[in-house]
Amino acid sequence: MGVRRHLTALAADGLAEQVTCARPGPGRPPAGWRLSATGMELFPRRYDALAIELLDELSVDDVAAALARRNDKQVVQYQAALAPCADLTERVAELARLRDHAGYQAEWSYGENEALILTENNCAIHRVAEHHPAVCMQELSLLRRVLGPEVEVTRLSHTMAGDATCTYCIRPRTDDAE
């Protein structure tokens, strides 16, 4: 009963789920428990090791091409999500939400002189970027492409340079900035 109580509590928190085990033969199939998708994320994942190993097998040009293709796909996804946004502030807020959902613990705030600040408190690709710094340039390119040519995006801080966060200043482009 103690185990069942713990399993029920884990299920209530969305960390475990009851499943029916397929078993041939008469009688009611036995029930079991497994971690839910949310529960699995509590345990270490090493997706970064796989990505690093695969990228290490490619030439510099092939890595650049693969990252560019990934960036192109993300641009399309992000632009679709930002399409309904009425102004730059809404677009940056939605962009922060998307980046937060992607694991960057992103948030946005108002800066000075019509600037908006996008802060990524976690680098979801840090280990990959340590081995392949071109990933970071793709991240900056992604933000610039998604927000469009009428917007200036400047990196203010960078975790790969030793800063605590990656922070971007986003503002409407003026004629002087071109």
Per-residue model confidence as pLDDT tens digits over 10-33? 999 998 888 766 566 676 666 677
Q: Which of 121, 124, 120 is nearest to 103 (CA)?
A: 124
pTM: 0.74
Domain check: are 35 and 51 in the same one?
no
26-40, 56-70, 90-104: the lowest-pLDDT one: 26-40
Q: How many distinct structural domains can be found in the chain?
A: 2
Domain check: are 11 and 62 in the same one?
no
Is the separation of the CB atoms in 136 and 160 below 8 Å? yes
Q: What Cα–Cα distance (Å) separates residue 111 from each residue in 45, 98, 115, 158, 168?
A: 36, 20, 5, 18, 10
Kindly report the length of the chain.
178
pLDDT top residue among 29 and 159: 159
Domain check: are 96 and 80 in the same one?
yes
**If pLDDT is split at 50, 70 and 90, which confidence band does 162 have?**
confident
Domain check: are 66 and 152 in the same one?
yes
Residue 155 has pLDDT above 80, yes or no: yes
Is the separation of the CB atoms in 138 and 129 below 8 Å? no
Instruction: Fill in the amino acid letter for 120.
Output: E
CA 43, distance to chain mean position in Å, is: 18
43-47, 83-87, 135-139: the lowest-pLDDT one: 43-47
Domain check: are 16 and 76 in the same one?
no
Provide mean pLDDT across the span 120-146.
Answer: 92
- pLDDT of amino acid 116: 97
Domain check: are 36 and 51 in the same one?
no
Q: Which of 60, 76, 78 is nearest to 133 (CA)?
A: 60
Provide mean pLDDT across the span 78-95.
Answer: 96
Domain check: are 79 and 166 in the same one?
yes
Q: Which domain holds residue 154?
A: 47-177
- pLDDT of amino acid 47: 81
- pLDDT of amino acid 24: 61
Q: Which of 18, 47, 13, 31 is nearest to 124 (CA)?
A: 47
Domain check: are 109 and 26 in the same one?
no
64, two tokens: 């650049």
Q: What Cα–Cα distance (Å) separates residue 54 from each residue in 64, 97, 131?
A: 13, 29, 12
- Cα dihedral value 70, 71, 76, 79, nearest 10: 150
